[in-house]
Amino acid sequence: MDPKLLDILACPLCKGPLKPAADKSELICKADALAFPVRDGIPVMLETEARTLNVDERLDK
C-alpha cells in the first residue's frame, strides 16, 4: 500500500489514526476495535464492511 495514502486515511467513526495489519489486509482502529478491509490495495472505509477485533487483537501486540 502507498504510505502516502495511509497518511491521509483516518477512521470514519472517530477520525483517529489507522494502523495497518501485519499482512496489510486490513486497517485497524484501536479506539473503535474495528478492522477495515483493504481490497485490491484499496481501503474500504465503511463501518458496515468493518470487522470487530477479537480480544487478542484488542491487546496491543
Using CB under 5 A as the binding criterion, the count of chain residues that bind Zn ion stands at 7
Q: Give least dist CB 20 to Zn ion, A.
A: 14
Q: Determine if 46 is a binding residue for Zn ion (CB under 5 A).
A: no
Q: Determine if 13 is a binding residue for Zn ion (CB under 5 A).
A: yes
What are 24's three cell numbers? Answer: 496489510
Binding residue for Zn ion, selected from 26, 27, 28, 29, defined by CB under 5 A? 29
Q: Which residue is nearest to Zn ion (CB)?
A: 11
What are 57's three cell numbers? Answer: 487483537
* CA gap 34, 47 in Å, rounded: 8
* CA gap 2, 56 in Å, rounded: 27
- Cβ atoms of 14 and 31 within 8 Å: the answer is yes
Q: Determine if 11 is a binding residue for Zn ion (CB under 5 A).
A: yes
